[in-house]
């Protein structure tokens, strides 16, 4: 303990002991007795009272000689002519005037203090949450400053985005050696926009650039610029760039740029002037700073299609880098990064896991590894196995098992035939993905059963025959019900939606129908976040063409359904045997039931 602190502690202990002793001495030397008013009058008439102090509600006094060992007394006042009695007894007496200064001051100060405290702890917090607080610092930037030791991220921590990393290496080289980089007169782009689906690692890449370059990293969300008061967002933009100039070389990273840079003149009812002023100020700052000062502006968005064209022109955001969903090789690299942090069975096939996860982003793969680790921990395993990964994948894709949902025997049999129809179609159709597992255990997302297929490779071009085969596989579940029961159920609702979408795309987007020809009747809508449900599709073709589209879609679906039904009739024995095995075991794989193994042709 610090000697000075130890001295202060003993000082307070000594003071406490002294104060306690003094109070004990005062209590023992001057004992005050409470007596009745009549007793007081008796003592008064007997001449035993020495002094009296009259207070508004009581009388305090002392005896000439102690009475019953007490030198002082106190009694309540009974209204009567007391002054004459005191004068007749030749007693020294006095009154006290109540001091009301403190109560008067408190009556004024306490309400104001309570109001101030209420404002500080309640109203101010609510106001700050609503964007109205901190009026003295209303124009200050809320950017969090990260330096290299805080980011803790380098390009070694980023996998599955090799093209994006290669382009960002130039930014790192410029920040480290601006003179060497610009020896031929080249200048670094003022702004670099990272766009792509959510979870692909845009923010991680920005932090990796700062970690590689070892410079200050200003990170702020676009929504933090937008406030209730007009002009506040513009002031924050100015303040952010002023901080960046003082800390150059540095990186400014604006996440969710679409909240700040949405196209002017569209959308919104309130706060439009504030958003436009904030955007105008950002445009002015982009025009006003020299990239040779060592300031690099990075931004990320999931919706580049709604950004203002003035923001995207050359000289502002000069370079756009698309961070797309990783391919199979990229997914394997991402899995290796995340699996380094957990205990993994050496027999785990990472490439097989990558093949099971087409379309997964980096964030989804990280979640998959975490779910697998949770399952391995729950079963008290020492390492993560392939079974853990498969179960985690099924949980992510289809939800948790709902073994408590009991289907009646007929429904359970219907689900078994339905799923076996999907699986046999996938095993016998050319170009279809191989079957990995078939189950009739209900899941929380709503599926009463599922057929899990595993792509052997990433596909970027698909022929018409492959699309038609996908439709056959989707409709094979309903066809299996028809073959066995002679009627169909509502279990194929989702299959019908997906099959109809494929048929409509064949006719309207891909120009694959012989009658309607090569015309594109439906353009792709939406960006990285999918279709815009608030935008009504525009139809630029006639009613006659619309009828032809409807007939073509119906013809494609009917043809696929008849093909599925014919295929299952040809393999009826396998269909019946597989459905019986599903009813017995609930989950089977191609190893358990050989007819599910892939047979092209």
Domain contains 62: no
Q: 446 with 385, same domain? A: no
* Residue closest to 505 by CA, chosen among 522, 528, 492, 517: 522
Q: Which of 322, 349, 373 is the last residue of a domain?
A: 322
Q: 433 with 563, same domain? A: yes
Domain contains 263: yes
The pLDDT value given to residue 73: 82
Residue 482: count other Cβ atoms within 10 Å of its Cβ: 19
- pLDDT tens-digit map of 158-194: 888 888 888 888 778 777 776 666 666 667 777 888 9
The pLDDT value given to residue 31: 63
Tell me, letter by letter, the H, E, C secondary structure of 318-375: CEEEECCCCCHHHHHHHHHHHHCCCCECCCCCHHHHHHHCCCCCHHHHHHHHHHHHHH
Q: 363 with 389, same domain? A: yes
Domain contains 30: no
Domain span at residue 466? 409-596
CATH code at 443? 1.20.58.760
Q: 123 with 150, same domain? A: no
pTM (2 d.p.): 0.67
Q: 334 with 442, same domain? A: no
Q: 295 with 441, same domain? A: no
Q: 476 with 574, same domain? A: yes
Q: What are the start-end ranges of the H helices in 182-223?
A: 202-213
Q: Which of 322, 356, 382 is the last residue of a domain?
A: 322
The pLDDT value given to residue 480: 94
Domain contains 515: yes
**Residue numbers annotated as active site:** 419
Domain count for the chain: 4
DSSP letters for 89-130? TT-EEEE-----HHHHHHHHHHHHHHHHHHIIIIIHHHHHHT
The pLDDT value given to residue 91: 67
Domain contains 39: no
- pLDDT tens-digit map of 110-169: 777 777 777 666 655 655 554 444 444 445 555 555 554 456 777 888 888 888 888 888
Q: 384 with 422, same domain? A: no
The low-confidence residues of the chain, meaning pLDDT below 70, are: 1-16, 18-31, 78-84, 86-87, 91-107, 119-151, 178-186, 226-231, 265-274, 289-293, 403-406, 444-446, 524-539, 599-601
Q: Residue 52: which H helix or E strand, with range?
A: strand 49-54
Q: 425 with 568, same domain? A: yes
* Residue closest to 508 by CA, chosen among 537, 466, 474: 537
Q: 389 with 428, same domain? A: no
Domain contains 92: no
Q: 149 with 286, same domain? A: yes
CATH code at 338? 1.10.8.60
Q: How many helices (H) and strands (E) does the chain have?
A: 22, 14
Q: 297 with 383, same domain? A: no
Looking at the chain, how many residues does it have?
A: 601
Q: Residue 312: which H helix or E strand, with range?
A: helix 309-312
Domain contains 173: yes
As a whole number of angstroms, the distance between CA 441 and CA 454 comes to 19
The pLDDT value given to residue 542: 84
- pLDDT tens-digit map of 49-94: 888 888 777 888 888 888 777 778 888 776 566 666 766 777 665 5
Domain contains 301: yes
CATH code at 291? 3.40.50.300
């Amino acid at each position: 303990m610090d000697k000075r602190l130890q001295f202060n502690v003993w000082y307070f202990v000594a003071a406490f002991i002294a104060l306690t002793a003094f109070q004990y001495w005062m209590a023992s030397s001057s004992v005050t007795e409470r007596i009745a008013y009549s007793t007081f009058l008796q003592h008064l008439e007997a001449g035993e009272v020495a002094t009296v102090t009259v207070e508004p509600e009581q009388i305090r006094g002392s005896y000439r000689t102690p009475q019953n060992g007490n030198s002082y007394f106190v009694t309540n006042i009974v209204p009567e002519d007391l002054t004459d009695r005191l004068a007749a007894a030749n007693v020294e007496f006095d009154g006290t005037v109540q001091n009301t200064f403190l109560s008067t001051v408190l009556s004024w100060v306490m309400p104001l203090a309570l109001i101030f405290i209420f404002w500080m702890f309640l109203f101010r917090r609510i106001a700050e949450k609503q964007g109205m607080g901190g009026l003295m610092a209303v124009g200050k930037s809320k950017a969090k400053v990260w330096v290299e030791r805080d980011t803790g991220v380098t390009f070694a921590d980023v996998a599955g985005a090799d093209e994006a990393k290669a382009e960002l290496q130039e930014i790192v080289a410029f920040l480290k050696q601006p003179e060497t980089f610009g020896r031929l007169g080249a200048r670094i782009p003022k702004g670099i926009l990272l766009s792509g689906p959510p979870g692909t690692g845009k923010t991680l890449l920005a932090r990796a650039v700062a970690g590689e370059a070892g410079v200050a990293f200003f990170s702020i969300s676009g929504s933090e610029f937008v406030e209730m008061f007009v002009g506040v967002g513009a002031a924050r933009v100015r303040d952010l760039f002023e901080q960046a100039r003082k800390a150059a070389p540095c990186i400014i990273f604006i996440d969710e740029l679409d909240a700040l840079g949405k196209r002017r003149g569209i959308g919104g009812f309130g706060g439009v002037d504030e958003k436009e002023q904030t955007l105008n100020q950002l445009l002015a700052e982009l025009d006003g700073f020299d990239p040779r000062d060592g300031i690099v502006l990075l931004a990320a968005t999931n919706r580049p299609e709604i950004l203002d064209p003035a923001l995207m022109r050359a000289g502002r955001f000069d370079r756009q880098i698309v961070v797309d969903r990783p391919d199979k090789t990229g997914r394997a690299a991402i899995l290796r990064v995340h699996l380094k942090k957990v205990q993994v069975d050496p027999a785990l096939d990472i490439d097989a896991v990558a093949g099971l996860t087409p379309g997964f982003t980096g964030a989804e793969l990280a979640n998959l590894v975490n779910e697998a680790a949770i399952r391995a921990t729950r079963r008290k395993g020492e390492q993560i196995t392939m079974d853990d990964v498969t179960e985690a994948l099924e949980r992510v894709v289809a939800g948790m098992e709902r073994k408590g949902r009991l289907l009646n025997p007929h429904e359970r049999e219907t689900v078994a035939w339905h799923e076996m129809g999907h699986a046999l179609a996938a095993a016998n159709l050319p170009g279809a993905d191989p079957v990995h597992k078939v189950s009739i255990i209900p899941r929380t997302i709503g599926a009463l059963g599922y057929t899990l297929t595993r792509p052997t490779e990433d596909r970027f071009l698909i022929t018409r025959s492959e699309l038609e085969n996908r439709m056959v596989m989707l409709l094979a579940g309903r066809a299996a019900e028809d073959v066995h029961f002679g009627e169909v159920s509502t279990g194929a609702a989702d299959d019908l939606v997906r099959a109809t979408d494929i048929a409509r795309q064949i006719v309207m987007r891909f120009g694959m129908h012989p009658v309607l020809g090569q015309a594109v009747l439906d353009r792709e809508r939406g960006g990285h976040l999918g279709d815009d449900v608030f935008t009504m599709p525009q139809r630029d073709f006639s009613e006659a063409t619309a009828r032809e589209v409807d007939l073509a879609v119906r013809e494609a679906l009917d043809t696929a359904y008849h093909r599925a039904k014919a295929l299952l009739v040809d393999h009826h024995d396998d269909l019946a045997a597989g459905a019986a095995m599903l009813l017995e075991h609930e989950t089977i794989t191609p190893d358990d039931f050989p007819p599910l193994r892939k047979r092209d042709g």
